[in-house]
Structure 1
Amino acid sequence: MREAPPNARAKARQSPGRNGYRYKQQFGVVVIVENEREQERAYARLQRAGFKKLRVVTV
């Protein structure tokens, strides 16, 4: 992935969109598990590992 020059990134952070929304870049990891029980275990393990912003998703 090609990264924008530092001055372009700074400008993008300063100027909001037409509706006033300011985008905040976030990063995440998706873990695919077999069932709900594994999902609960994975969530608990990540909590114990110190991750604070966890989201549970079912699709």
Structure 2
Amino acid sequence: MVKDTPPQMLGANGFKYREQFGVIVVCKDEAEHRAVYERLKADGYKCRLVRV
């Protein structure tokens, strides 16, 4: 049985788009930032750190 798969979307430069979902957590300070990151990583989440 063949599943219907949507066609891959290509940008003008040939970039293959892959849908992703994310969550932003706003922290009160650097210590909380570090603690939240460590907790999420320990739970198996792929995380990226951002400081603005």
TM-score of the two chains, using structure 1 as the length reference: 0.70
SS at match of 1:29: coil
Shift, 1:17, TM fit:
2.0
Number of residue-to-residue matches in the alignment = 49
Structure 2: unaligned runs, 5 residues or longer:
none
Tell me the distance in 2 between the aligned counterparts of 1:18 and 1:45: 39
Aligned with 1:10 (options 6, 11, 15):
6
Higher helix residue share: 1
Tell me the distance in 1 between the aligned counterparts of 2:41 and 2:15: 31
TM-score of the two chains, using structure 2 as the length reference: 0.78
Tell me the distance in 2 between the aligned counterparts of 1:56 and 1:17: 27
Paired-residue identity, %: 39
Could you list the runs of 4 or more consecutive aligned residues of structure 1 that deviate by over 3 angstroms after TM superposition? none
Structure 1: unaligned runs, 5 residues or longer:
1-6
